[in-house]
Homo-oligomer: A and B are copies of this chain.
Amino acid sequence: MINDLPAGLSARHLREDDHLRVLAVLDTWWGGLKAEAGARERALLLPRLYFQHFTTTSFLVEHEDGEVAAFLVGFLSQTDPETAYVHFAGVDPALHGQGVARALYRAFCTLARSHGRRRVHCVTSPENTASQAFHTRLGFTASAVRPHYDGPGLARVTFTLDLTQGTPR
């Protein structure tokens, strides 16, 4: 399903019973960022509905022992038949720099293209410079910071990837 993962990792589509496991690793990976409030915010951004209704374009990467190594939650736009959207992706910090996120995005883009999608959108917070660098390396075009994009005080940088020239390498 996903090529070029480091040895010992395997990928499959998300399932509903992955939900609490993914929320739990987020708290570890994000290093208790904003502690309780941060955990609550991540839970609200990733309600169970994504693990029920958007599994066919979402992936989980596991270690051989079944521990969560990475995930990507994305969907096909229902409004725009040419657009796909990556809502949330994360990789175990111990695996950073090994191409796991790139492999996940590549798999998502390949799937999106197979559904006739011509572009992928996603957003990140202005503070998340690592995410911005990653998306730019992958070929996404970034917007300027858009204040209050996701609500009052929730600024975002938006990214767009053109799929008509192929998927990221």
Contacts and interface: CB of A to CB of B under 8 A. Distances in A.
Interface in A58-89: 75-80, 83, 85, 87
Given A151-B23, A151-B47, A52 B40 contact: no
Contact of A39 (B40, B83, B152): B152
Interface magnitude class on chain A? 35 or more
A48 B78 contact: no
A154 to B, nearest CB: 6
A151 to B, nearest CB: 3
A20 interface: yes
Contacts of A20: 148, 151-152
A53 B40 contact: no
Nearest to A53: B77
Contacts of A151: 19-20, 23, 39-40, 42-44, 46-48
Q: Tell me the interface secondary structure of chain A in the complex.
A: mixed
A55 to B, nearest CB: 5
A53 B150 contact: no
Interface in A111-165: 121, 123, 148-154
Instruction: Pick from A47, A75, A83, A149 the residue with the most CB of B within 10 Å.
Output: A47
A56 interface: yes
Nearest to A77: B53
A41 B44 contact: yes
13 contacts: A20-B151, A40-B153, A43-B151, A44-B44, A44-B150, A47-B151, A48-B123, A49-B87, A54-B78, A55-B78, A55-B79, A57-B78, A76-B78
